[in-house]
Structure 1
Amino acid sequence: MLYGIAAATSALLLAAVLSALLRVPALRLGVVDRRRQRPLPLFGGVAVVTASCAVAVGGDWAGVTRLGDGVGRLLVAGGAVALLGLVADVRRVKARVLVVGTAVAAASVVPYEETGLGAGLLAVGWIVFVTLAFRALDHADALAGTVGVVTAFGVGACAAAEVMDGLAVLLSVLAAALTGFLMHNWHPARVGLGACGSLFTGFVLAASAVFTRAGYGLASSAGVLFSLTAVAGADVLLVVLGRRLTGRPLLRRGPDHLAHRLRRTGLTPPGATVLLGLGAFVGVLVGVLVHLGWVARSGVFWVAGGALVLVLSLLRVPDYPPRGSVSTQVRGQLRVRNG
């Protein structure tokens, strides 16, 4: 217990300090997100990955809390995915490279002896989906980090219930590291998570959730896993439906995600993040309670219904501001000023 508190505190402080220190090097190297009104340095993900791995591995090396072979392999695979994301932050990487790289990492950590080959392959696909969904969720200040913290606590509770102490410690450390990063990422953000941090977060959370559900029924596991990541799944569904209906390419970036549309309803950026964070909390809470057997499996359908209602409601909100609107004019002025 005391070690868990100390580890979480260390990860939080380390991530907060590194996020501040790495901001200037990211700006000087040009590792920034240029989709915003001002370039946003993207080494916040490096801070989260470094803090999470350093604290978790340090505890295992000191013999305080053993991660175990499975969790150690998960951390190595997550580090590889984070490295791939860092390359994507520094230079353009095709989407299929990210998909294949994440799939290889996922295939190396799935516990096939407990899931079986068929369910294991489905788990690989689900891990890839959630990992890339978290990258897409990093479209607004503090959103991916907030949802990541909530999800990490939920999956960590499931791991603790299964007496997976090493996994529970890793997830608590990840939640703490994301919290330290959020000190610099809340609107207006001073540093961003980037592909490095968002892919690492999504991968670790998805793979950890698979570990906690290994050995359970496929149908019930699918419901729990969906509830734990409902907001990320809803964001992907909204983008896919919106772009299909308007005939736009699926892989082209655009202001048509959850937080974008919520802001066009009148919410402030922090308001949209808080609302989606609350939605993630509800989904995670239901998933944990179903996993523990305290709530019937039908509770998952309420989460799915709520996510579907949100998506269908936001589809009615324009995904792009109308021509001549204030935001369009502002962006036009910024283009002129930036040459």
Structure 2
Amino acid sequence: MREYVLVLIVAAATTYLLGGVARRFAARIGAVKPIRDRDVHSVLMPRLGGIAVLGGVAAGFVVATHLPFLGMLPEIKEDAWGLLIAGFVIAVVGGIDDVVDLDALTRLAGQVVAAGILVVYGVQLNWLPLPDGTLLSLSPAQSAVISALIIIMMANAVNFVDGLDGLAAGVVFLGAAAFFTYSYGLTVGLSLNRATTATLVTAIMAGACLGFLPHNFFPARVFLGDCGAYLLGLLLAASTISLTGWLDPSVMSSPQNESRSLLPALLPLVLPIAVMALPFIDLLLAVIRRTRAGQSPFAADQKHLHHRLHLELGHSHKGAVLVMYLWAGLLAFGVVVIGLWATWVTASIVGVVVVAAIACTALLPRRNHLPHPR
């Protein structure tokens, strides 16, 4: 655990120190786009904050590979190199888009290349759970295609949710923290090797997001941009795929472990879906909405979930972000708590938090708009 905490701190500190550098660099090269119709801010903002995140991620991986515990496994070193190369590629694609506004096909091509690099380095799904409780072993071709699709979808989902100050970085931090809790808790509970790529990636991601939030939370001084959003989405997908690749489903579903978690063979895939449920729902609704209107699925609008919280329900800019944090954390940690400690007490606690979240979402804006007594 100490080495994971160390790489988290290194990633956070590096990202924080590079935040100002990224902001000044973006302003110098003109990576400051005009304000768009879908934007809710009114001040021109540098959009290359992903450079700082990339620096923090790289520092975290470099330090991890030189530590006596995390650096002793060749699998982690190989995965780290694959993630660094793929992360650099997708960050460059996003960075170019932040500067010159690439077309959708070019962005997709860059994402495919980055996903292909991870696949070549062996970051692939090996199996999928079936409804009848059995497992489907994937062929190399199926594994490569499904893994690449997950990476591309996750990258775009994070980019879709990046619409308010600090929103994407905070949601990914909560998801990474929940995933770290599950991954590390799994190794402890099953008495397995605690040095895993999935746990390392989520620790580094959490640190990078923590280091970036002081620059990005309302009022923001620099945005993640496509550069940072694509990178965080790729890393989150990679942690998911890496965990399922490392995990032996026969161990998880063995009789002696059945009481330790809910649907043990399925949970490693359910957790990332819960972590990114809001972005994925937002992405699906956006595609349906724009297609029905005869527009491109990639067309910009101001009807994302975070926009509706801010513009329609009446939450303040900061309030809308905090509500999204609440729901993201509830979904992510709720799955972890029920999965690792499935009791009626934990289920009841999660239910109470759900009710509180609904109340905060629906009632706080009305309370804020009530006339004050004279």
TM-score clears 0.5 = yes
The 5 A counterparts of 1:15-34 are 15-34=15-34
Structure 2 residue aligned with 1:203: 234
The CA distance in 2 between the partners of 1:130 and 1:170, in whole Å, is: 15
CA deviations 1:168-227 (Å, max 9, x no partner) are: 233212211111111011111111101111100001001211221335599665533321
The CA distance in 1 between the partners of 2:341 and 2:109, in whole Å, is: 36
Q: Does the aligned pair in 2 maintain the 1:155–1:205 contact within 8 Å?
A: no
Aligned with 1:281 (options 329, 346, 370): 329
The CA distance in 2 between the partners of 1:3 and 1:179, in whole Å, is: 17
Count the aligned residue pairs: 303
Q: 1:6 to 1:207 in 2, by over 3 A?
A: closer
Partner amino acid for 1:285?
F
Q: Does the aligned pair in 2 maintain the 1:224–1:290 contact within 8 Å?
A: no
Q: 1:122 to 1:20 in 2, by over 3 A?
A: same
Structure 1 residue aligned with 2:261: none
Q: CA deviation at 1:24?
A: 2.0
Q: CA deviation at 1:292?
A: 4.1
The 5 A counterparts of 1:114-263 are 114-115=126-127, 116-117=138-139, 118-160=142-184, 161-162=186-187, 163-214=194-245, 216=249, 222-263=269-310
The CA distance in 2 between the partners of 1:121 and 1:291, in whole Å, is: 28
- TM-score w.r.t. the length of structure 1 is 0.79
The CA distance in 1 between the partners of 2:30 and 2:124, in whole Å, is: 42
Q: Does the aligned pair in 1 maintain the 2:32–2:46 contact within 8 Å?
A: yes
Q: 1:6 to 1:293 in 2, by over 3 A?
A: closer
Structure 1 residue aligned with 2:50: 45
Partner amino acid for 1:104?
V
Structure 2 residue aligned with 1:3: 3
Partner amino acid for 2:148?
V
- 1:65 paired with 2:70, answer yes
The CA distance in 2 between the partners of 1:271 and 1:55, in whole Å, is: 32
- 1:294 paired with 2:342, answer yes
CA deviations 1:95-144 (Å, max 9, x no partner) are: 12222322332234344583323354223212211111111111111100
- TM-score w.r.t. the length of structure 2 is 0.72
Partner amino acid for 1:209?
T
Q: 1:64 to 1:223 in 2, by over 3 A?
A: closer
Q: Does the aligned pair in 1 maintain the 2:159–2:230 contact within 8 Å?
A: yes
The CA distance in 2 between the partners of 1:180 and 1:198, in whole Å, is: 15
The CA distance in 1 between the partners of 2:143 and 2:84, in whole Å, is: 22
Q: CA deviation at 1:43?
A: 2.4
Q: Does the aligned pair in 2 maintain the 1:41–1:192 contact within 8 Å?
A: yes
Deviates more, 1:77-86 or 1:241-250: 241-250
Q: Does the aligned pair in 2 maintain the 1:75–1:204 contact within 8 Å?
A: no
The CA distance in 2 between the partners of 1:247 and 1:292, in whole Å, is: 45
Q: 1:46 to 1:267 in 2, by over 3 A?
A: same
The CA distance in 2 between the partners of 1:79 and 1:64, in whole Å, is: 26
Q: CA deviation at 1:293?
A: 7.4
The CA distance in 1 between the partners of 2:321 and 2:59, in whole Å, is: 29
SS at match of 1:39: coil
CA deviations 1:276-304 (Å, max 9, x no partner) are: 111111221233346547379xx9xx99x
Deviates more, 1:258-267 or 1:285-294: 285-294
The CA distance in 2 between the partners of 1:227 and 1:4, in whole Å, is: 23
Q: CA deviation at 1:2?
A: 2.8
The two structures, once aligned, show a CA RMSD in angstroms of 2.9
Percent of residue pairs identical: 25
Gaps of 5+ in 2: 36-40, 128-137, 188-193, 250-263, 363-374
The CA distance in 2 between the partners of 1:24 and 1:107, in whole Å, is: 32
Which structure is larger by alpha-carbon Rg, 1 or 2?
2
Q: CA deviation at 1:62?
A: 4.9
Q: 1:63 to 1:193 in 2, by over 3 A?
A: same
Deviates more, 1:173-182 or 1:60-69: 60-69
Q: Does the aligned pair in 2 maintain the 1:158–1:212 contact within 8 Å?
A: no
The CA distance in 2 between the partners of 1:231 and 1:176, in whole Å, is: 22
Q: Does the aligned pair in 1 maintain the 2:10–2:59 contact within 8 Å?
A: no
The CA distance in 2 between the partners of 1:79 and 1:92, in whole Å, is: 18
Q: Does the aligned pair in 2 maintain the 1:119–1:218 contact within 8 Å?
A: no
